[in-house]
């Protein structure tokens, strides 16, 4: 299935499904006059090696792993919004002439894409969105061009269909993450919805760094850095089994000196990675001031991490909680949700996509 068909606007309800290398997170939302309602949220483990650097290597293994979510959410809720990410995804702001028909616009986008995308266009799925009139030249339009290797879209579709889902939207992870700022901005003393905010999601193996300004994702960058590096450091330092590390993290039973021997070096590396990304963004965009930072993903709640980011980067940093201003269905365990909310930012942004025009 071609990406442009999946990226068309869809009607709710959609399950937002974030497929990672270690786990898949799913969120189902509804919307009322009073705001968002969290109907369900759950996650399942993904088999080792089935997903590597955002690429699905074994769609059958992933599909089989996703099936329990279908049962938990109810088989009638089988419409899904998923996302692509990684080196196969390219997003660019391009500028085209504002006059002409829709066909003329598509032709201009195709020409620009041919110059910008380092893959043969027949191997790529394209989508574009008109952002608005160019501020410097009102005769031209600003266009957000998005592209992804078609094979990566198709592998996700195959995994979803194997699990019994019907994929309706294929988004980009950075856009899904940025979408949640509309709800998470209220975690700050001053609402940051229209400010310039760095949003950082640290997964098992990859870190997604994006900048949202005036409600739009204007920059994103990924690199290999994640919680698995912390886990492997614990394994190497203390000789623990990998599965025991995760259990010890959750139970708070890691060795007494781990915070000095393993945690502090990992956090220092995290700060360095984020600082470098901020510098790269500032140099390339000319935007020097970032108002705040939101940290999501499994490593976001490592003790002292947000406090260190505040101190080292001189930014108002918080741990992501996309459910903070939502009504939560009575059937859900609110204590469990509060403890894991930081893991659901991308899945929540995907679920929100189903309620956008």
| Antiparallel, parallel or unpaired: β 207-213 and 35-45 | unpaired
Helix (H, G, I), strand (E, B) or coil at 151: helix
Stretches where the chain sits below pLDDT 50 are 1-5, 10, 357
Contact (CB, 8 A) for 92 and 115: no
**Which tokens go with 319?**
């741990």
pLDDT, residue 253, reads: 86
pLDDT, residue 5, reads: 46
Helix (H, G, I), strand (E, B) or coil at 306: helix
pLDDT, residue 99, reads: 77
Q: To which residue do tokens 């369900």 refer?
A: 40
pLDDT, residue 6, reads: 52
pLDDT, residue 119, reads: 84
What's the rounded Cα separation, in Å, for the pair 91 and 57? 24
Instruction: Report the largest interatomic distance among the alpha carbons of the chain, rounded to a whole angstrom.
Output: 68
pLDDT, residue 4, reads: 47
**Which DSSP symbol is given to 186?**
G
Does an H or E element contain 61, and which?
Answer: helix 59-73
Nearest to 205, CA basis, from 52, 49, 45, 44: 52
pLDDT, residue 214, reads: 87
pLDDT, residue 162, reads: 97
**Which tokens go with 171?**
């988004």
Contact (CB, 8 A) for 81 and 13: no
Provide DSSP, 204-271: SS-EEEEEEETTEEEEEEEES--HHHHHHHHHHHH---HHHHHHHHHHT-S-TTHIIIIIHHHHHHHH
pLDDT, residue 12, reads: 57
Hey, which residues does 171 pair with through a beta bridge?
A: 83
| Antiparallel, parallel or unpaired: β 207-213 and 196-202 | antiparallel
Contact (CB, 8 A) for 43 and 23: yes
Question: How crowded is residue 209: how many other Cβ atoms within 10 Å of its Cβ?
Answer: 25
Nearest to 255, CA basis, from 233, 226, 234: 234
Contact (CB, 8 A) for 84 and 172: yes
- Any idea how long the chain is? 357
Q: CA dist 209 to 35, 93, 158, 192, 199, Å?
A: 28, 18, 28, 18, 6
């Amino acid at each position: 299935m071609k990406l442009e068909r999946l990226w068309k606007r869809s009607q709710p309800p959609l399950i937002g499904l974030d497929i990672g290398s270690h786990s898949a997170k799913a969120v189902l939302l509804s919307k009322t006059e009073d705001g968002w309602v969290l109907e369900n949220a759950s996650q399942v483990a993904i088999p080792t090696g089935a997903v590597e650097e955002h690429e699905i290597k074994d769609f059958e293994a992933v599909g089989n792993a996703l099936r329990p979510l279908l049962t938990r959410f109810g088989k009638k809720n089988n419409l899904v919004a998923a996302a692509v990410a990684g080196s196969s995804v390219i997003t660019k702001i391009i500028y085209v002439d504002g006059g002409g028909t829709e066909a003329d616009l598509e032709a201009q986008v195709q020409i620009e894409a041919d110059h910008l995308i380092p893959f043969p266009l027949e191997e790529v799925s394209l989508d574009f969105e008109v952002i608005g009139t160019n501020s410097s030249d009102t005769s031209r339009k600003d266009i957000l061009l998005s592209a992804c290797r078609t094979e990566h879209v198709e592998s996700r579709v195959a995994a979803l269909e194997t699990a019994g889902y019907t994929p309706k939207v294929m988004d980009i992870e950075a856009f899904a993450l940025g979408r949640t700022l509309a709800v998470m901005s209220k975690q700050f003393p001053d609402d940051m919805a229209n400010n310039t905010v760095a949003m950082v999601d640290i997964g098992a193996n990859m870190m997604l760094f994006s900048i949202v300004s005036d409600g739009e994702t204007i920059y994103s960058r990924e690199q290999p850095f994640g919680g698995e590096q912390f886990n492997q450091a614990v394994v190497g330092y203390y000789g623990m089994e990998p599965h025991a590390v995760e259990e010890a993290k959750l139970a708070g039973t890691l060795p007494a000196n781990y915070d000095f021997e393993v945690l502090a070096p990992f956090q220092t590396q995290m700060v360095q990675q984020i600082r470098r990304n901020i510098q790269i963004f500032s140099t390339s965009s000319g935007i020097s001031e970032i108002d705040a930072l939101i940290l999501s993903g499994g490593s976001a709640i490592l003790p002292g991490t947000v406090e260190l980011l505040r101190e080292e980067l001189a930014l108002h940093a918080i741990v992501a909680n996309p459910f903070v201003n939502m009504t939560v269905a009575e059937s859900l365990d609110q204590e469990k949700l509060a403890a894991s909310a930081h893991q659901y930012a991308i899945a929540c942004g995907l679920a929100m996509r189903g309620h956008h025009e």
